[in-house]
Amino acid sequence: AILPARNNCVQIVGGLKWPKEDFEKLTQLLSQKLNTVAVETRDVDFSGAYVFGVFENGEKKFRAEMQLKGKTLEDMQESVTVEGEQWARAHGYKPGKEGFNEFHLGDGDRITRRLGLTNDNMGWGQALILQEVTNRPPARPSVPPRAGKAK
């Protein structure tokens, strides 16, 4: 979904099934074409995995991704990769003892609020919902059989 622009920012929210590359290309394109800040959030998964990123005028300023890595459920460990640490610090993120390995979506929400977007009444009623297009032809409307022929 693309939420309505607020305070010269646009927010793109999606699930983890949306390919990362496509999601980031869309965010970058909107940021560039609209000459604004675009925030991307990909999550909604039982694992807690996420991607949070910020583009400004088409340039990636910050990106954090958390994935679970391991071969078995017992081996699973969170792995956080981050780009743009300086930008995040300049926008209010204060790393803890583990540095950016502790970054989570709550921190992303705080950065989003500092940019002027809030979770209060985010504009879901006016959101642009995107749906994957398939190559299936459109369904043909069914035409009811005629009851009788006119003479």
Query: pLDDT confidence of 105, banded at 50, 70, 90?
Result: confident
Residue 21 to residue 139: CA distance in whole angstroms: 31
- pTM here is 0.75
Give the model confidence (pLDDT) of 106-144 as tens digits. 899 899 888 887 655 454 444 444 444 555 555 555 555
Tokens of residue 33, six digits:
């074409």
Residue 96 to residue 117: CA distance in whole angstroms: 24
Q: What spatial distance separates the first Cα and last Cα of the chain, rounded to whole Å?
A: 54
Q: Is 71 exposed, middle or buried (0-12, 13-18, 19+ CB in 10 A)?
A: exposed
Give the model confidence (pLDDT) of 72-90 as tens digits. 777 888 889 999 999 999 9
3-state class (DSSP) for residue 142 = coil
